[in-house]
Chains A and B, each alone.
Chain A
Amino acid sequence: MRTLEEVALYIGKVSGTVVATFKDKVFEGRKLLIVDHLTPEGEPTGKYWVAVDDVQAGVGDTVMVIDEGNSARQVVGMDPAPIRAVVVGIVDEIDIAV
C-alpha cells in the first residue's frame, strides 16, 4: 500500500529539456522536461524529475507533475509502459495563507 506522500501531484518548475534518440517507444514523439520540485511557497527542494510533457509547457513555467505509474499510463494512453513522471498542468497562480 502506498502512502499519500508517494502518490501525489507535485508543484515544479521546468528548468530544462532532455533530448534522447534511443528510448522506449512510449517516449517517442513526446517532449522530455527537467522539472525541479518546489514547495508550495516556491522554494526548490533539490529533488527533480525527467518528466514527459502533456501540456506544451516550456522552460520557466510552474507546472503540476505526477510521479506515479498508473496515472501516467492513463495520461499517455499506453499500458503497460515504463513511465512515471508526467507534466499535467501549467500553474497560473498559487495562493497561500500568510
Chain B
Amino acid sequence: MGACLHAILDFRRRYGSLLTGYVLVAVAVWMLGIIVLPQAVMMQYSFWRLDRSHSAELDAQIERLYMDKQKIERQIRAIERELRKPDADAAALEAQKVPLAEQVAAIEARLPEMEEQVTRPVKVYGVDNYVHFLTSELHWSIFLKTIWASVIVTVIAAVICYPVAYYIAHVASGHHAPLLMLALIVPYWVNELLRTLAWLMILSENGIANLMLRALGLPGVDWLNADAGVIIGMTYAYVLFMIFPVYNALETLDRNQIEAARDLGASWARIHWRVIIPHAKPGLAVGCIMVFMLAAGSFAVPQILGGVRSVWFTQVIYSWFYDHSNWNMGAAYAMGLLILCILFVLLMMRLFRVRLEDIARG
C-alpha cells in the first residue's frame, strides 16, 4: 500500500497533478465502476431472492383485522346511539367508548405497514437460487449440453486451424503469407450475426446442404431443429479466433529446428508432434480459451440457428431476465457461466502449462 502511494507521488513529480489526477480517476472509473463493482453486485444479487410466499397469509391477516375493525366500529356506533338517548348515562358510556376507540386506532396503525409488505416482498438471503439451478433437471442438462458443445467446437476449431496456421507461417512464401492473412481478416471482421445468417440459409429445409444430400440420394436432414445446426454455426463463427493466436505462436518457431529434425530422419508426423506443436502451445491455449468462451457465451448463434427444441444456456439466462423478471435467478445462472469459464481457463493453463501472462499477451 505504501509502495503504491510512493509510486503515485513519483508519477506526480514527473507528470504533474493534472495528469496524475486524470490517470487515477479514469482507471478507477473503469476498473471499479465498470468492471469490479458491477460484477460484485451481480454476485450479491445471486445470493438473495424475493419471497412472496408469506403474502397469502398476510392477506388473510389483513382481512381479519378489517373485520375486527368493523365489528368494533359497530360497537362504537351502538354506544353513540345510546348516548343520544335522553336518559343516557354519558360518563359510563364514554368510558366504554375509549378502549374501543383505542383498539380501532391500534388496528389502523398496523394496517398500512402490513399492506405495504404484501406488495413489497421480503428479501431472503441464501443459496436458494443456486439450489434451484443445480436441482432443475432441464436447466442442468442444458448447461451440460452447452459445455459439451463448446468443447466440441473448440476441438474442431483447433484441428481445422492448425494446418492453415502452419501453412501461412512456414509453407507459404514471403509474398503470399500477408495476402493470405488479409484474406482471412475479411471474414473475421464480418459480424457473427451475418455469418450465422449465411448458415441459416445453407441449413434450411431447401438449402444447399439438403440439396446436395438429396442429389446424392440421401434424405434431407432437419439441421435447424436439432443441436447440430448450432454447433456447425458456432464452429464457422469462431474458427478464425483460433487461427491468429496459433499463427503468432508458430511464426516464432525457428525453421532451422524443422530442417534439423527432417535431416535427422524424422517423419512429418513426428516433427509436428515433438517440435512444432509444443512450440505452438501458448497460441493453442489462447485460441482454445477464446473459442470456448465465445461458444459457451454465444447468444446470437443459438437464437438464429436453434429451433424450438434446441434451447441453450444463454437463452435460459436471457429468459430469467426478460421473461420472468427474476434478476436474482438470472444472476445466479450467470455466475454459473462465469465459474465455468474461470474453471476452463485454469484447466487450459494446467493442460498447456502456460502462465496467465502468456495468455493475456496473446
A and B: partners? no
Contacts from A to B (Cβ < 8 Å): none
Contacts from B to A (Cβ < 8 Å): none
